Amino acid sequence: MTPQVVFDKQKLKNPPLQIHYLGERVLRQPAKRVAKVDQKIRQLAQQMLQTMYSADGIGLAAPQVGVNKQIIVIDCEPDNPENLPLILINPVIKSYGSSMCDGQEGCLSIPGVYLDVKRPEAIEVAYKDENGRPKTLKATELLSRVIQHEMDHLNGVMFVDRVQNGLVLTEELQKNGFSVQAVKPIK
Ligand code: CO
Q: What is the rounded CA–CA span in Å between residue 170 and residue 166? A: 6
Query: 160 C-alpha vs ligand 1 centroid, how far in Å?
Result: 9
Q: Which listed residue (105, 130, 141, 150) is catalytic?
A: 150
In a domain, 98, yes or no: yes
| CA 3 to chain CA centroid, nearest Å | 24
Q: What is the pLDDT of residue 8?
A: 79
Residue 150 among the catalytic residues? yes
Q: Does residue 36 form part of some domain?
A: yes
Distance in Å, CA 131 to ligand 1 centroid: 24
Question: How many angstroms separate the alpha carbon of residue 106 from the centre of ligand 1?
Answer: 7
Mean pLDDT, range 139-163, rounded to an integer: 98
pTM of the entire structure? 0.95
| C-alpha separations of 151 from 15, 63, 64, 123 in Å | 23, 10, 12, 12
Domain range for 170 is 25-178
We report the CATH number of the domain holding residue 120 as: 3.90.45.10
Residue 100 in domain: yes
> How many other CB atoms are found less than 10 A from the CB of residue 27?
21
Please check the confidence at residue 45 and state whether its pLDDT lies above 70. yes
Is residue 134 in a domain? Answer: yes
Mean pLDDT of the chain: 95
pLDDT at 178 over 60: yes
CA of 1 to the centre of ligand 1 (A): 34
Position 186 in a domain: no
Q: Residue 82: its pLDDT value, please?
A: 87
CB contact at 8 A, 10 and 146: no
Ligand 1 centroid vs 36 CA: distance in angstroms? 25
**Chain segment 89-98, per-residue pLDDT in tens:** 999 999 999 9
**Above pLDDT 70, what percent of the chain?**
96
**Is the pLDDT assigned to residue 1 strictly greater than 60?**
no
Structurally, how many domains does the chain consist of? Answer: 1
Beta bridge partners of 101: 119
Does some domain include residue 12? no
* 153 domain residue, yes or no: yes
Residue 160 has pLDDT above 80, yes or no: yes
On whether residue 97 sits in a domain, the answer given is yes
Percentages helix, strand, coil for the chain (3-state, rounded to 5) are 30, 25, 45
